[in-house]
Structure 1
Amino acid sequence: MTRFNYLITFAIVLSLIVSAGCLQEQNAPGGVNDTTTIRHAIMQTLLHEMTCSIQSELGMFNFTIDEASHYLGEHGLTGPKADAMMADFASSHPAILSLITVDPNGTVLSAAPDNAKILIGQNIADQEAISQVLSTRQPTMSNYFTLRQGGEGVVIVYPVFSPGGEFLGALSMAFSPSILAARYAEELEKWAPFTYAVAQPDGVLLYHSNPTLAGKQAFDEPLFEQFPELLDFVRRSDTERTGYATFSFYKDGSTEIVPKETFWETVYLYDSEWRVFVNADRE
């Protein structure tokens, strides 16, 4: 049995115990009843699986872009070999939107797939992540922003060096955090009535079970204005890497306002962090 299947089985067993009424509604230490304790255990188990899955994906992106940067260092940032490698890389994961290479001045030398080739020849040294890597020569992951070729996403930018150590430029990979997270959230949502969200510490929603909220800034979203407790825990998550909070919000698929709760954990890459949330109705 895989680790994922083991955790899902654990969650299912706990869910069946609760739904079958096998546990009495009695207070546990701290005033939390058994049903709440079990729901919290399921929430945290599934949240941990979600967090580990996203962290693994970010780690794999890091490994792959590191390998690609070494290849480009040996074969050049442009030309048939670079183009072929980048085309394969761009098609290797559904969340990847595009790849580009830039020279030390920030001019785009090559791009994949075809819809990104309009960037070739443009200077994008003013893009924050590109500017940072050209200056520090260290990899970075950007915040969510509008891409030059259209659409929105996050970029991982990695320096490229020749085998002799000469700085040649950088490789930038744009990807969709929403697509990345959705494949795991949608699977976990089949097993328990929870919703999931991924956000930058500043409140920008990278993924939400309600897809209309992806890409929105929570503090500017009219839907959240009447729920100060919700915005309070978003503020807390700016500095708290893990946490728990209660709040009120609409019941899923309804206009009824119900009490809810959330746990969150953190994933990271280089100097960037994301918060991963699991949300549930309180009973």
Structure 2
Amino acid sequence: MRGIKILLCLLIVYLLLVMAGAEQNNAVNDSRHQDMKNLIGKISDEITSGLEDVERANEKSAKTFSNGTLEGEYVSTVLNDKVSAIPFAHSSLVILPSGLVTAAAPAEYQNLVGMSLNDTAVITANKKKRPVLSDIFLLTEGFYGVSLSYPIFSPEKNYLGYTDLTFRPEEFLRQYIIPAVEQSRYDIMILQPNGLIVYETNEEEIGRDAISDPLYAEPTLHQAAINITSQRAGTSSYQFWNQNWNKKVPREAIWDTLEFDGQQWRIVVISDIGDSEPVKNLKINITTEKTEDLNSSILSLTEYMENATDYAKNHGKKEVLSVFNNQSGPFVTGDRYIFAYDMNGTALALPFQQGFIGKNRMNLTDVNGFSILPAMIDRASDGGGYLYFVYPNPAENYTPMLKLFQVKPVDDSWFIGSGIYIPQIQASISPQNLSDLNTRVKKAAMHADDIGKEKAIADFNDINGTYADGGDYIFAYGYDGTTLALPHQPELIGTNRSDYTDQFGCQIIRMEIDAAKRGGGYVYVVYGNPDTKKNELKLCYVTPAGDDWLVGSGIYTGQNLDG
């Protein structure tokens, strides 16, 4: 009898502990849910404010055109001013009710003038005759855009057409979402009700269809996508790769809907709610070398890459990729591992992020917006080379760190790479500084469009002028590598620098030309800072200024790399 009483007491204690644990878990869940909902509200407010700024700029230009002047130099100047004033702006058009384009900015889109457009965004804007935020759509350059339109009415209220502003969703949304992710460690995505992804923390997923894409075919994830797209707000749990893409875990999504000018965006905040067994062979066992002598490390990296390239060329591709993907294999050593991609950007080997294997990553960008795969493919296509960007370090809980990479082609269809983490150099740039950089460069390009190439280059080279302001100076190069503007190094004007490399072997002029030819983008360089007279890491932004030349500027990190 006494034994039964003891067992009953133990059972009661156990039940009390279970209930206490359940209450504690519920409290934790409630707190996390509230944090996620608060984050959704904050992001929604910030995005709405940003879209309202664009709409005001559109409204101002639309009222300017209400007198019926919808083409010509004056209209182009108004559009240019609008685009240059908005850091994330891609282009702006004036379109008649028939779909005919009568004006376009910047200058590289003048070829659209005279064309009749009949895509969904144009048809919808002309049909609604009110401000419309379009669905995401594929731009001619191969990346995705969103257009915000505003109607043009005459004083007599006759509809004349509309003007718009098109932007890449990641360039607009990154300024709000990246800081939120860094502070909260949640993943954030934005979906249209039709399932198309407008933004994802893993930016290479932008433009995918969350309902039909094979990437999201896992049953619980597919059901979550259906729930999110069909319901204005809610909560859903599913199983998927974690934020680092190195293991599958239970995840929870909470979402709500932002509405703006006829468009609905589901704002989704995602949290890991548990952990599962890591994917086979993914045991993190590397440590980051605190690099003191980069030159010595580069020599070591070069030898390592030569051995990997020889191995790849002398063995079957299937065997090679199996070895490169093996964390315990001969090519994982210290803080180094080999990755591999095909020339279309599909991941073939990533030993610490095997969730990406077989996935196309052409839209992958780092925390500052640098387009990773196009730059690596350019270097591999040129026979190999070096480049920098920020990438997660698996030895440091996948913390993004600056890394110097080398890539080399195996054959015409695929390439390999590896790199050196440089944790002592902080390369993350604030959204405001990135915005200021974009604005600075776009205004320089607009200046060239307004007054002509020759006069603009003279202005850029004027050491006492507004375009040569210390480290914020504007530079310019021809697509053949000819130096057109470099105000703090006038002795280089007119010289060809297409083969110039920085102190760590990066062919920075070629990279800037390649980025400009793709429509513009970021490039990391190590270059002399005219303010400090030291070589520093610099994030440059470049954009086309015409058919055969570019303009750019940069942000110095203030961190000396002279040793």
Identify which of 85, 91, 110 aligns with 2:84.
91
In the alignment, which residue of structure 2 is the partner of 1:262? 253
In the alignment, which residue of structure 1 is the partner of 2:103? 110
Contact kept, 8 Å, 2:251 with 2:271, in 1: the verdict is yes
Matches of 2:40 and 2:273 in 1, distance apart? Answer: 17
Contact kept, 8 Å, 2:70 with 2:103, in 1: the verdict is yes
Cα shift at 1:150 = 5.5
In the alignment, which residue of structure 1 is the partner of 2:52? 59
Amino acid at match of 1:255: N
Matches of 1:184 and 1:27 in 2, distance apart? Answer: 39
| Structure number with larger C-alpha Rg | 2
Contact kept, 8 Å, 2:236 with 2:254, in 1: the verdict is yes
Q: Is 1:238 the counterpart of 2:229 in the alignment? A: yes
Cα shift at 1:112 = 0.6
Q: Is 1:178 the counterpart of 2:176 in the alignment? A: no
Identify which of 193, 204, 209 aligns with 1:201.
193
Deviations 1:145-196 (A, max 9, x none): 1235654211122221122323222112212222221111110112121111
Identify which of 28, 45, 53 aligns with 1:35.
28
Q: Is 1:154 the counterpart of 2:150 in the alignment? A: no
1:149–1:164 Cα change, 3 Å: farther
In the alignment, which residue of structure 2 is the partner of 1:281? 272
In the alignment, which residue of structure 2 is the partner of 1:20? none
In the alignment, which residue of structure 2 is the partner of 1:46? 39
Matches of 2:124 and 2:146 in 1, distance apart? Answer: 15
Identify which of 243, 251, 258 aligns with 2:242.
251
1:26–1:118 Cα change, 3 Å: farther
Q: 1:209-228 to 2 correspondence within 5 Å?
A: 209-226=201-218, 228=219
Deviates more, 1:193-202 or 1:24-33: 24-33
Matches of 1:240 and 1:78 in 2, distance apart? Answer: 44
In the alignment, which residue of structure 2 is the partner of 1:168? 160
Same amino acid, percent of matched pairs: 24
SS in 1 for 2:156: coil
Q: Is 1:80 the counterpart of 2:73 in the alignment? A: yes
1:141–1:242 Cα change, 3 Å: same
* Structure holding more helix per residue: 1
Q: Is 1:138 the counterpart of 2:130 in the alignment? A: yes
Matches of 2:86 and 2:18 in 1, distance apart? Answer: 46
Amino acid at match of 1:243: G
Amino acid at match of 2:179: E
Matches of 2:96 and 2:196 in 1, distance apart? Answer: 31
In the alignment, which residue of structure 1 is the partner of 2:475? none
Cα shift at 1:26 = 7.0
Amino acid at match of 1:65: N
Cα shift at 1:72 = 1.4
1:28–1:97 Cα change, 3 Å: farther
Contact kept, 8 Å, 2:54 with 2:165, in 1: the verdict is no
Amino acid at match of 1:58: L
Structure 1 unpaired stretches of 5+ = 1-23
Cα shift at 1:281 = 0.6
1:35–1:212 Cα change, 3 Å: same
Cα shift at 1:52 = 1.2
Cα shift at 1:27 = 5.1
Contact kept, 8 Å, 1:26 with 1:34, in 2: the verdict is no
Contact kept, 8 Å, 2:132 with 2:148, in 1: the verdict is yes
Deviates more, 1:194-203 or 1:52-61: 52-61
Matches of 2:55 and 2:18 in 1, distance apart? Answer: 47
Deviates more, 1:189-198 or 1:155-164: 155-164
Amino acid at match of 1:159: P
Contact kept, 8 Å, 1:196 with 1:276, in 2: the verdict is yes
Which structure has more relative contact order (CA 8 Å, sep 6+)? It is 1
Matches of 1:123 and 1:176 in 2, distance apart? Answer: 22
1:161–1:192 Cα change, 3 Å: same
In the alignment, which residue of structure 1 is the partner of 2:113? 120
Deviations 1:83-129 (A, max 9, x none): 121111112223321100022322111101122211011011x1222
1:28–1:74 Cα change, 3 Å: farther
Matches of 1:187 and 1:151 in 2, distance apart? Answer: 23
Deviations 1:193-221 (A, max 9, x none): 11110111111111101111111111232
Matches of 2:20 and 2:65 in 1, distance apart? Answer: 62
1:149–1:170 Cα change, 3 Å: farther
Deviations 1:27-71 (A, max 9, x none): 599884322222222222222111111122222222221222111
SS in 2 for 1:198: strand
1:80–1:235 Cα change, 3 Å: same
Deviates more, 1:130-139 or 1:27-36: 27-36
Cα shift at 1:133 = 3.1
In the alignment, which residue of structure 1 is the partner of 2:376? none
Matches of 1:108 and 1:58 in 2, distance apart? Answer: 23
Matches of 1:112 and 1:199 in 2, distance apart? Answer: 29
In the alignment, which residue of structure 1 is the partner of 2:14? none
Structure 2 unpaired stretches of 5+ = 1-16, 275-563
